[in-house]
Every structure is written in C-alpha cells, then in structure tokens.
Amino acid sequence: MKEVTTIYVLLLILLPIQQIYPTEINVISDSQFLTEEDTLVSPAKTFELGFFRPSDTETTIYVGIWYKKIFVKTVVWVANRDRPLISAEAGVLRIVNPGNLVIMNNVTNDLMWSSNTTSSGNVAAKLLDTGNLVLMDQQKEMMIWQSFDYPTDTLLPGMSFGRNFLTKKEWHLSSWKNSQDPAVGEFTYSIDTLSYPQNELRQGDVVKYRAGPWNGIRFSGASEFKQNPIFTYSMVINETEVVYSYNLVNSSVLSRLTLNYSGQIERTVWVDNGKKWQSILSLPKETCDTYNICGAYGSCTLVSFQTCMCLDDSKFMPKNPKGWETADWSGGCVRKTPLDCENGSDGFVRYSDVKLPDTQNSWFNLSMTLKECEAKCRKNCTCMAYANTDIRGEGSGCLLWFNELNDIRVYFDGKGGQDIFIRMASSDLGNFTQTVSTNKGGTNIKTILLAVILPVLLIGFSSTWFFCVWRKKRHAKATGEGESLQVQESNSEAMELPLFSFSAVAKATASFSSDNKLGEGGFGPVYKGILEGGEIAVKRLSITSSQGLHEFKNEVICISKLQHRNLVKLLGCSIEGDEKLLIYEYMPNKSLDSFIFDKVRSTLLDWTKRFNIIAGIARGLLYLHQDSRLRIIHRDLKASNILLDHDMNPKISDFGLARSFGGNETGANTERVVGTYSYMSPEYALDGIFSTKSDVFSFGVLVLEIVSGKRNRGFIHPEHDNNLIGHAWRMHNEGRSMELVDTNIEKPSNPSEVLRSIEVGLLCVQQNPEDRPNMSSVVQLLGNEVALPKPKQPAFFTQRNIPGADFSSILYTTRSTNEFTVTEIVAR
Ligand code: ACK
C-alpha cells in the first residue's frame, strides 16, 4: 500500500476486514471454498449450488442445488438436510483432507455434513449442468462421489432410481418433512427390488401406492408416455442392478420428478412463458390408486356408488359381503369354486388390461416363453397367476405369483394394463384357456367401467472468484502492490477489498478523459476503463464534496459485503491523497432509465425483458432486505440506479445512501431524509421513517415506470392531475390497466403477467407501510399465479397531495438531472 491517507486510516478504524467473496465460482478445491455469499455454478449456468433458507421466516440454513435459469427457487437436492446451520452461524462448504467435501459451522467448528470420501489425490468439486455435484480425484481423473447417488426428494433426468446389488447403492426419493423443512419426512418412493421390481410409495412402513412391475414399456398399470415427445425412459433389470432412469428428448426442457412432503409424486415441466412449473403427472391421483383398496382379487372401479368390484363376478364373490355393504372392501374377493390343483384339473383364465398384482410373493425369469411360464406355474399349486415380464412384441419372460393376488386393477382404456393368466377351477374354464377381457369379455366390471368415464392415469414412473475472476491479488504490477483494503463497520464482519493505485486506475481510464466519461453519479463522475483486461466503471469522488466522502464510505461498507447477481459488483477501490475511487464491474447497457424513458431505446425492451428486469430487481432487493448477512435498506431505489448487464439483467447500484441493520431491526427514524422524491414513501418523506417498506414503495414506483415507460415525477395526463401512481390506480379501478403499458412496445404476449405486475406495483405503493407486501411476498406474487390481495388507495397519487410536505429545506443536491437524489433534507 502506498500512502495511507487520513481517510484510509479512518476507514481502517471503522472497518476491520475479511476476504471479499465472489458470487459465482465454478469449482471447490483445496484452495477454494464456498461461503454463504457464494454459489457454485454449472458451466452452462443451468444449476447453482449454495446456502439457502427454505423460507424467509426460517432461521435454518442448508446447502442445496437449485435451478439457476429460473427465478422460482426450486431446490432439487439438499446436502445437510437433517443438520442445518442456524441463522447466526456461518457455514462453509470446503474440501478437507484427505478428499472429503464437508459443511463446517465456522462458529462452533462442528461438522454439519460430509461426503465421507477419502482420496490420496487432489480433489475438486464441480456442479454439472445435469444438476449433479461431483467430487473428482484430479490426478486419477476419477469421480469419487456424486450427489446423484444421494437423491433427496427430486429425481432429475439422468439420475438413477433403484439398486445396484454389487455396490449396494440404493437410489430412492424421500420427502421433506414439510415445505420449510428438508429433513427426511414421512414418505419414500422407491423401487422394491426384493422380488420383481415395482415402485412403492410408502408412508413410514405402510405402502400407500404401488406402480406395478416394469413390463418393458412402463410400470404396469401406468399409462404409457410413449407418445409423449418430452421423455425417454430406460430400465435395466439384471443380476447386478435394477435401475430406472429417464431423460429429456430436448435437453433445454426443465423437468423433474418430486415426492412432496404430503406424499404426492409429481412430474413437472417448467413452462417458460407461464413462468411456472406445470404438473403433468400427480400420483396418487384418485381413490383407486390407494394400495390394495379392494383387497385380494378385487378391482377398483371409480364408480361412485361402488368403489370395488370383484375381478370377475362370475367366478369371484366378496369374501365379506356385509363389509362390502358398508363400504369396507378390504376383505377382497374369493373364488366361487375352489381350486383343485392336486387333481391337475385347474387351468388359467386370461384377464386383459390389468394392473399386475403386487409382486411381493413372486418369481421371475426373463428368458422363458409364456408357454414355459404356464407350465412352471401349473406345476406349483401355490402359483396363482403368470404373465410375461416384457410385453413388447410377442411378449417374453415369465413372472409367477404365489398366494393371493393383491392390488389388482382393471382398466378400460387399454393403456395402463396388460394380460395376466389367473388359475381357475376346471368348472370355471371352457375347453381351452379362457380369455376374459374387461373390454371384450362382458364381465360385470366391463359394464360398469364402460358406463363411466374413467380418467386416464398418467403415470409412468416418470419419471468466480469474483468477476470471473477478479483474481485476488493478481495485480502487483498493474494496480500497485496487490494490497487490499480492510473493511469493517463497528462490530460487523470484516471484508477485504482489493486496493488499486490511483495511477493504475488513471491509466485504465485514459486519465479520466472526457471520452471515457459515462455520466455523473451520486458522488461524482463515472468513467469507463480497462483494467487487467476487463471492463470497469470507475466512480471518482468529487474532491470538494464532503458529503460525497460520507457516501463513499457508506458504499464501501455496504456493497463490499454484498454479493448477488442483481447487485452491481464492487471490484475494488483506490484511496490516494484526495482521490477516492470506486471500481465496479462495467455494465454495458448502462442504466434502466436510459432505456425506459427513451422513445427509441424503449422499443428494445419488450415485455419479456421488462418482466425479467422487474423480477431481477425484486430478487436483488429481497437479498438486501432478507438474505444478505446485513439487512440493507437502499433508500434510493430508482430507474437510474438500476444498471443493465450484457443480457439486460438488472443490477441494483449506488449504495451511497443505504443503511444497514442488524438482528430483527427493519428500519429507523431519521432527521436526514435522503433519496429521490418521486420514489419516496410518504412516511419517509414526511416523517423520516424509513424501513424495508419504504424501499418496497420505491420498488412499486419503479414497476409502474417500467410497465408504462413514464416517469412518476412529471407525469402528465390530459384528463387528470394524477401522477403515474394515481394514473395507474385510476386505470386499475376502471379495469383499464392494460392501457398503462408503454405504447412503444408491441402488445405483450402475456397480459396476465402485465396485469399481475401492475397490481404488485400498486400493492407496493399503498399508503400504509403495513399494507405493502415485503419483498419475499413480492417475489412470490410476481412468479406465481396466486390470488393477489386487492390494493388499497396508493400514497401520493396526485402531484399535489403531499400533505405538510415542505421541501424548501433541501440542503443540497448532487445530481443535475430532473430526477436527482436529494442527499439530505430535513424531515419535519
Ligand atoms: O445511465 P448511464 O449511462 O449509466 O449514466 C450513469 C452514469 O454512469 C452515472 O451513474 C453510468 N454507470 C454507473 N455505473 C456504471 C457501471 N458499473 N457500468 C456502466 N455504466 C455505469 C450510469
């Protein structure tokens, strides 16, 4: 470090330090670990791994994997599901020798989770685009552990489900305890491999639902997905393993199979334009899916007046007729004519379209023919039925059932079931092996089944270091000795911020040439520059501005501790003599206001992009309010403080006026009202009360501006005196909200999303802070088609109704645009 100035000394006193952490990294290695501010990202940015809280109200913290591409946080895997970190505890995911990936509690040093691996070589953890976290021995180029081997409640394409008899690996799903608790819950969904493989959903030890044995195409009793263009399935059944997996025909589709905490198996597909997960399969779906509801030889019919029938009325009867009269079907059915196996007179009757019985007591051979199968069954008097194991083509393989046949179901649509040959007494046979098909045979079930429309059962088991990387301390030459600024605010945690020499930054910006000037910011001019091969934006503190120094310190303190994809990244700073510089990642698309309020440029922001921007700002603000290690109130959220990256992703910038809070504090009262009028909530502008809800108000204004392409301040309408808020409120009440949409863009393809956004905006600008949603609700309301509360009348909806406001006491301003930041006004 070169010269230590008074300011620097001041900063050092204010703030002791710690490393500055990157947001996104792509490997965890011996020298690179993951903290709560970081995420490990897959190469194509499909998945992301990091620390998360199941809900905003939860104090528990887990390490998990979720989709990066979608903003609805969808966790697909959890590491420490039974041993979370608690709020105040700091966690780290790192590799400890020898080759063990662990989650450590940095406060207590407790081991919270471990991959339980060892390796003599160098080990690195990476997240693949399949959602699989893999631990690699880099010398041997060998995978030593993968998260796909430890599924939680989600089966992703390419994951295995089943068992390997050699390695003793078993893959099954286990539900979360509840929507906020990823601990192992009551339900499991697994392949029962004790006999011929079938799927079972269990609550504790009790089977709740069973998908029949695999028949080469599907799990018996499951409508096939053959015509479905989305998935392909594979099932391997051999001496070594029984493994089911599915894949996507089009890898850009996002799909998952989950077992939720209430025991529902669900296959969902992400619908991009609906911005939500759409369920395409949900099991158990109906009463008839209840395991063995009708007992042995019974079949569930879905007929309202009688749930259960016997498989074949002419040959079976209820075992307990009285029970059937009282809707107790559990006794099932028995044969009218007893078997007489000893005399060798029994035969077999074919039943078609049947969900094959529970294979608990079964035997199978994959190479036998049906004829051989029959002979084998005939010889064994306890063998009650046989069927092909594989129904493809002519059919092949042999599956035998012993003792009673349970959990059978006859289908009428021919899609889910298959043939089974059931042992019958000679008197129940014709001269030849009889076929009884529920579709063709004229049985009682058929009559009833055809009399009702049965729903089709759709089953089928379905189914950096920083700034890429702002290489820490890779700068000796260019930046001046590779030092860092130790930053700490009072009792809070320390950070380390790369410190650059003034000369290096001056060189990077062509000596702060006017050609490089991007504009005038909160505390001075902003320049574009190239430093260490990367584009940067440099804020230069006006030499004369004492207020700017205050903001400068504030920005360093606040933003150096924050890392989120929707916050602009502070890469470093420079403090030499009177020169104070802040160095940021460069945002090629500049600020949001340069787009939305510009006639020509606004046409480049279609609705999809605008919605993406709204959602991104919401997530960034949520992070500030709830998820970051500090609770930050930005206090100056506005269009000019939203920067846009190369892909038009929004990043909240300018933390000069931000305030941080610890513990449960959500706001404060100040006599120094700072911010920008047209984005200020009434309680803040008038009484100096600021809270997360005053940021929510500003967010609401921003949403309405993004939708309409009009500024709240200075809004003019020929019919009334209302500002933009008032105009939006008026249009909303008259059912004309769509008229608010910027006419410079094409008609939005998703009007419901537009209306939802406007309503969310109006909810945020309600007069009473308590009525405004918090940012977590905002994120949810924007992303889901849930019913929205009715917004109440907004605050400040006419240009003139700011009661008691006297802004004559503005001390000074720091911007010269018409939408300047009021650095300080005295609240009355
Ligand atoms: O709207 P703009 O073009 O985008 O003008 C303002 C100006 O500097 C003063 O704030 C631009 N600006 C600020 N920070 C950055 C950044 N990190 N990358 C690119 N432009 C920036 C902003």
Query: Is residue 205 in some structural domain?
Result: no
Query: What pLDDT is recorded for position 377?
Result: 95
- pLDDT higher than threshold 90 for residue 393: no
- pLDDT higher than threshold 50 for residue 172: yes
- Whole-number Å distance, alpha carbon 590 to ligand 1 midpoint, is 5
Query: Is residue 430 in some structural domain?
Result: yes
Strand residues in 532-664 grouped as ranges (E): 534-540, 570-576, 579-585, 631-633, 642-644, 650-652, 659-661
| Confidence band of 663 (pLDDT split at 50, 70, 90) | low
Q: Which atom of ligand 1 is nearest to the CA of 526?
A: 8
- pLDDT higher than threshold 50 for residue 15: no
With CA atoms as reference, report the closest residue to 198 among 361, 412, 396: 361
CA atoms of 313 and 444, how far apart (whole Å): 6
Contact 311, 299 (CB under 8 A): yes
Report the mean per-residue pLDDT for the chain: 81
Q: Is the bond into 498 cis (omega within 30 degrees of 0)?
A: no
- Whole-number Å distance, alpha carbon 823 to ligand 1 midpoint, is 19
| Structure confidence by residue, pLDDT tens digits, 233-280 | 888 998 899 999 989 888 888 999 999 999 999 999 998 877 889 888
* Cβ partners under 8 Å of residue 76, min gap 6: 47, 64, 65, 66, 67, 131, 152, 154, 156, 256
- Whole-number Å distance, alpha carbon 540 to ligand 1 midpoint, is 12
Indicate whether 564 and 694 sit together in one domain. no
More confident site: 532 or 671: 532
Q: Is residue 525 lining ligand 1, measured as CB closer than 6 Å? A: no
Query: What pLDDT is recorded for position 534?
Result: 84
Contact 491, 14 (CB under 8 A): no
Structural domain count of the chain = 4
Query: What pLDDT is recorded for position 793?
Result: 87
Pick from 86-95, 438-447, 554-563, 659-668: least confident: 438-447
- Whole-number Å distance, alpha carbon 570 to ligand 1 midpoint, is 13
Query: What pLDDT is recorded for position 372?
Result: 96
- pLDDT higher than threshold 90 for residue 808: no
CA atoms of 640 and 520, how far apart (whole Å): 11
Query: Is residue 672 in some structural domain?
Result: yes
What integer is the mean pLDDT of 666-675?
A: 64
- Whole-number Å distance, alpha carbon 777 to ligand 1 midpoint, is 30
Indicate whether 425 and 544 sit together in one domain. no
Domain boundary among 559, 585, 611: 585
Other Cβ atoms less than 10 A from the Cβ of 299: the count is 29
With CA atoms as reference, report the closest residue to 776 among 53, 272, 51: 53
Contact 727, 720 (CB under 8 A): yes
Indicate whether 319 and 438 sit together in one domain. yes
Q: Which atom of ligand 1 is nearest to the CA of 593?
A: 1
Q: Is residue 571 lining ligand 1, measured as CB closer than 6 Å? A: no
Contact 646, 656 (CB under 8 A): no
Q: Is residue 639 lining ligand 1, measured as CB closer than 6 Å? A: no
More confident site: 95 or 459: 95
Q: Is residue 584 lining ligand 1, measured as CB closer than 6 Å? A: yes
Q: What is the SS3 assignment for 383?
A: strand
Q: Is residue 517 lining ligand 1, measured as CB closer than 6 Å? A: no
Indicate whether 548 and 663 sit together in one domain. no
Rg (CA), the chain: 33
Contact 61, 52 (CB under 8 A): yes
Q: Would strands 255-259 and 241-248 be described as parallel, antiparallel, or unpaired? A: unpaired
* Cβ partners under 8 Å of residue 389, min gap 6: 196, 213, 214, 215, 216, 364, 365, 366, 396, 397, 398, 399
Indicate whether 627 and 557 sit together in one domain. no
Query: What pLDDT is recorded for position 756?
Result: 94
Across 31-35, 40-44, 511-515, the highest mean pLDDT is recorded for 40-44
Query: What pLDDT is recorded for position 464?
Result: 25
Strand residues in 213-355 grouped as ranges (E): 231-237, 241-248, 255-259, 265-271, 276-283, 298-303, 306-310, 316-318, 333-335, 347-355
Query: What pLDDT is recorded for position 547?
Result: 52
Residues with active-site annotation:
636
- pLDDT higher than threshold 80 for residue 16: no
Indicate whether 599 and 556 sit together in one domain. no
Q: Which atom of ligand 1 is nearest to the CA of 568?
A: 17
Q: Kindly state the helix (H) or strand (E) to which residue 163 belongs, with its residue range.
A: strand 161-164
| Protein residue closest via CA to atom 7 of ligand 1 | 519
Q: Which atom of ligand 1 is nearest to the CA of 594?
A: 1
Q: Is residue 643 lining ligand 1, measured as CB closer than 6 Å? A: yes
- pLDDT higher than threshold 70 for residue 141: yes
Pick from 460-464, 573-577, 721-725, 766-770: least confident: 460-464
Q: Is residue 520 lining ligand 1, measured as CB closer than 6 Å? A: yes
Query: Is residue 184 in some structural domain?
Result: no
Pick from 31-45, 196-210, 439-453: least confident: 439-453
Alpha helix positions (H), 389-508 = 444-451, 466-469, 502-508
Indicate whether 770 and 714 sit together in one domain. yes
* Cβ partners under 8 Å of residue 603, min gap 6: 744, 745
What integer is the mean pLDDT of 596-623?
A: 92
| Confidence band of 733 (pLDDT split at 50, 70, 90) | very high
What integer is the mean pLDDT of 614-637?
A: 86
- pLDDT higher than threshold 90 for residue 208: yes
pLDDT above 70 as % of the chain: 79
| Confidence band of 589 (pLDDT split at 50, 70, 90) | very high
Beta bridge partners of 236: 243
Q: Is residue 523 lining ligand 1, measured as CB closer than 6 Å? A: no
| Structure confidence by residue, pLDDT tens digits, 337-363 | 999 988 888 999 999 889 999 999 999
| Confidence band of 58 (pLDDT split at 50, 70, 90) | confident
| Protein residue closest via CA to atom 20 of ligand 1 | 590
Pick from 222-231, 332-341, 596-605, 714-723: least confident: 222-231
Q: Which two tokens stand for residue 712?
A: 């709240």
Q: Is residue 594 lining ligand 1, measured as CB closer than 6 Å? A: yes
Q: Which atom of ligand 1 is nearest to the CA of 584?
A: 17
Q: Is residue 537 lining ligand 1, measured as CB closer than 6 Å? A: yes
> pTM, whole model, 2 decimals?
0.53
| Structure confidence by residue, pLDDT tens digits, 470-506 | 333 333 333 333 344 444 433 333 445 788 888 999 9
Task: Give the Cα-Cα-Cα angle 421, 195, 300 (nearest 5 degrees).
Answer: 50
Indicate whether 507 and 578 sit together in one domain. yes
Chain centroid to CA 410: how far? Answer: 38
What is the layout of strands, in order, in the sheet containing 198-203? 173-178, 181-192, 198-203, 206-211
| Confidence band of 672 (pLDDT split at 50, 70, 90) | low
- Whole-number Å distance, alpha carbon 558 to ligand 1 midpoint, is 19
With CA atoms as reference, report the closest residue to 161 among 247, 283, 261: 247
Query: What pLDDT is recorded for position 522?
Result: 63
What integer is the mean pLDDT of 600-609?
A: 91
Indicate whether 300 and 375 sit together in one domain. yes
Look up the domain containing 330 and give its range: 288-449
| Confidence band of 314 (pLDDT split at 50, 70, 90) | confident
Query: Is residue 183 in some structural domain?
Result: no
Indicate whether 662 and 773 sit together in one domain. yes
Q: Would strands 631-633 and 659-661 be described as parallel, antiparallel, or unpaired? A: antiparallel
Query: What pLDDT is recorded for position 209?
Result: 95
Query: What pLDDT is recorded for position 550?
Result: 66
Q: Which atom of ligand 1 is nearest to the CA of 519?
A: 7
Pick from 193-207, 384-398, 427-441, 692-706: least confident: 427-441
CA atoms of 455 and 527, how far apart (whole Å): 65
Beta bridge partners of 255: 269
- Whole-number Å distance, alpha carbon 518 to ligand 1 midpoint, is 6
- Whole-number Å distance, alpha carbon 587 to ligand 1 midpoint, is 7
| Confidence band of 2 (pLDDT split at 50, 70, 90) | very low
* Cβ partners under 8 Å of residue 216, min gap 6: 235, 389, 390, 391, 392
Query: What pLDDT is recorded for position 116?
Result: 95
- pLDDT higher than threshold 70 for residue 649: yes
Query: Is residue 421 in some structural domain?
Result: yes
Q: What is the CATH number of the domain that holds 98?
A: 2.90.10.10
More confident site: 224 or 392: 392
- pLDDT higher than threshold 80 for residue 435: no
Query: What pLDDT is recorded for position 521?
Result: 73
| Protein residue closest via CA to atom 13 of ligand 1 | 526
Pocket-testing residue among 505, 514, 516, 518, ligand 1, by greatest number of atoms within 8 A of Cβ: 518
pLDDT above 90 as % of the chain: 49
Q: What is the CATH number of the domain that holds 443?
A: 3.50.4.10
Query: Is residue 168 in some structural domain?
Result: no
Other Cβ atoms less than 10 A from the Cβ of 823: the count is 25
Q: Is residue 568 lining ligand 1, measured as CB closer than 6 Å? A: yes
Pocket-testing residue among 470, 517, 523, 526, ligand 1, by greatest number of atoms within 8 A of Cβ: 526
- Whole-number Å distance, alpha carbon 594 to ligand 1 midpoint, is 10
Indicate whether 518 and 420 sit together in one domain. no
- Whole-number Å distance, alpha carbon 596 to ligand 1 midpoint, is 15
Helix pair 607-622, 775-783: axis angle to 10 deg: 150
Pick from 18-27, 431-440, 630-639: least confident: 431-440
CA atoms of 192 and 48, how far apart (whole Å): 32
Indicate whether 406 and 525 sit together in one domain. no
Q: Is residue 222 lining ligand 1, measured as CB closer than 6 Å? A: no
- pLDDT higher than threshold 90 for residue 785: no
Q: Is residue 591 lining ligand 1, measured as CB closer than 6 Å? A: yes
- pLDDT higher than threshold 70 for residue 180: yes
More confident site: 685 or 814: 685
Query: What pLDDT is recorded for position 353?
Result: 84
What integer is the mean pLDDT of 525-549?
A: 79
Sign of the CA dihedral 248, 249, 254, 260? negative
- pLDDT higher than threshold 90 for residue 596: yes
Pocket-testing residue among 527, 590, 601, 646, ligand 1, by greatest number of atoms within 8 A of Cβ: 590
Q: What is the CATH number of the domain that holds 674?
A: 1.10.510.10
Query: Is residue 704 in some structural domain?
Result: yes
Q: What is the CATH number of the domain that holds 536?
A: 3.30.200.20
Query: What pLDDT is recorded for position 666?
Result: 63
